[in-house]
């Protein structure tokens, strides 16, 4: 931890709850690596307290904040500007101090894309099956379209939500279809749509700790269609979805790099720096250790 003095600039995470967040660990490691006079803490802002907190922190010249559940949409009212990704997703996870007020950004989308690049997963021209249609799936789907996927089959327990999600984006050149989350149906439909292998991106909350023996799809025929299985869950490090995919011969990845790279992108925005993959590796190791502990 840096020495804190009268020049130290304050950064933090705003959410409710925030007690399990790894952001303070990771952001303070980056602050240390870059030798900045800054400090980052998690702020548990109770319901109804967002506006006062955000306005007060601007008056106090705090440097910036990450924003998490449940404030990613509500915080938009407090901004003087919003970047393209945040506008497209209707959700802000990063605030940066400007003289005029808070500027808002969404780093979930660039975080997902940098994680794919770091893992060497290309979606260009690929068949992608997206599982889930919640808040995280929105940023992921925007990323899948930007990466240039050829086809997206979007499956959700509630199929209407998958249709709503697809309908939010323009996706020229990418064929889309929705489905209900039924492994037998998905496997059959994936085979009908393309003889090429598929990449699955798992964005439901099924399989998260402590429900580590659950997966959104369990049918082997679904997994046999996959060459890559990307789960955005990061705890546990290996979900049942990932294990089933690996047993069927696919490469599997968890969501830790997405988590870490969205934080890294926030850090880059706040401090006008570029974090290299080598520097990111140190942060990733720390994140991995924190989940093993």
Contact flags string 100-139 toward ligand NAP, x per CB under 6 A:
--------------------------------xxxxxx--
The answer to whether residue 203 forms part of the interface with ligand NAP (CB under 6 A) is yes
Report the residue from 88, 129, 258, 284 that binds ligand NAP according to the rule CB under 6 A: 258
In the chain, what are the helix, strand and coil shares in percent, each to the nearest 5? 40, 20, 35
Element (H, E) at 110: helix 108-119
> Closest CB to ligand NAP among 62 and 179?
179
- Both tokens of 213, joined, read 């023996």
Q: In this chain, which stretch among 32-40, 71-79, 85-93, 156-164 interacts with ligand NAP, using CB under 6 A?
A: 156-164
Question: Counting contacts by CB under 6 A, is residue 205 touching ligand NAP?
Answer: yes
Rounded to the nearest 5°, which phi and psi values hold at 130?
-100, 125
Distance, CA of 179 to CA of 231 (rounded, Å): 19
Smallest distance from the beta carbon of 60 to ligand NAP, in angstroms? 29
Q: Residue 172 Cβ, how far from ligand NAP at the closest point, in Å? A: 25
- Which part of the chain contacts ligand NAP (CB under 6 A), choosing from 40-48, 227-235, 240-248, 285-293? 227-235
Residue 154 within binding range of ligand NAP, rule CB under 6 A:
no
Q: Distance between CA atoms of 35 and 29, rounded to whole angstroms?
A: 10
Could you say which residues in the range 164-183 bind ligand NAP, by CB under 6 A?
A: 181
* CB nearer to ligand NAP: pick between 36 and 144: 144
DSSP designation for 203:
-
- Please, which residue, 9 or 164, has the CB nearer to ligand NAP? 164
Q: In the set 24, 110, 143, 255, which binds ligand NAP (CB under 6 A)?
A: 255
Question: What's the CA gap between 50 and 52, in Å, rounded?
Answer: 6
Measured between alpha carbons, how far is 42 from 65 in angstroms, rounded to an integer? 9
Tokens of residue 184, six digits: 């037998």
Q: Which is nearer to ligand NAP, 30 or 137 (CB)?
A: 137
Q: Is 72 in the active site?
A: yes
Please tell me the total number of residues recorded for the chain in this structure.
Answer: 293
**From 117, 121, 208, 224, residue interacting with ligand NAP (rule: CB under 6 A):** 208
Strand partners, 101: 98
For residue 202, which of 137, 158, 148 has the smallest C-alpha distance?
137
Smallest distance, ligand NAP to C-beta of residue 156, A: 5
- The SS3 of residue 180 is strand
Residue number of the CB atom closest to ligand NAP: 134
Beta bridge partners of 228: 199, 251
Catalytic residue among 51, 59, 72, 124: 72
CA dihedral for 152, 169, 15, 99, sign (positive or negative): positive
Q: Which residues are near ligand NAP by CB under 6 A?
A: 132-137, 156-158, 161, 181, 203-206, 208, 216, 232-234, 255, 258-259, 262
- List active site positions: 72
């Amino acid at each position: 931890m840096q020495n804190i003095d009268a020049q130290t600039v304050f950064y933090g995470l705003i959410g409710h709850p925030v007690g399990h967040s790894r952001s303070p660990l990771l952001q303070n490691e980056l602050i240390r690596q870059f030798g900045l006079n800054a400090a980052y803490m998690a702020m548990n802002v109770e319901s109804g307290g967002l506006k006062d907190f955000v306005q007060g922190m601007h008056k106090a010249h705090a440097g910036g904040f990450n924003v998490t559940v449940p404030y990613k949409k509500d915080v938009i009212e407090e901004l003087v500007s919003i970047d393209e990704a945040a506008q497209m997703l209707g959700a802000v996870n990063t605030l940066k101090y400007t003289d005029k007020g808070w500027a808002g950004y969404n780093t979930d989308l660039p975080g997902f894309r940098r994680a794919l690049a770091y893992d060497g997963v290309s979606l260009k021209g690929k068949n992608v099956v997206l599982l889930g249609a919640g808040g995280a799936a929105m940023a992921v789907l925007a990323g899948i379209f930007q990466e240039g996927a050829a086809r997206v089959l979007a499956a959700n327990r509630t199929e209407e939500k998958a249709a709503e999600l697809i309908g939010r984006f323009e996706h020229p050149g990418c064929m889309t279809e929705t489905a209900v989350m039924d492994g037998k149906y998905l496997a059959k439909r994936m085979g009908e749509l393309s003889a090429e292998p598929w990449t699955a991106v798992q964005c439901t909350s099924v399989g998260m700790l402590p429900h580590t023996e659950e997966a959104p799809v369990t049918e082997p025929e679904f997994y046999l269609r996959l060459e890559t299985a990307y789960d955005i869950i990061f705890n546990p490090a290996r979900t049942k979805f990932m294990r089933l995919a690996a047993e069927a011969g696919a490469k599997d990845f968890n969501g830790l790099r997405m988590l870490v790279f969205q934080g890294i992108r926030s850090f880059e925005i706040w401090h006008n720096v570029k974090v290299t993959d080598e520097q990111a590796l140190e942060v990733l190791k720390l994140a991995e250790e924190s989940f093993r502990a």
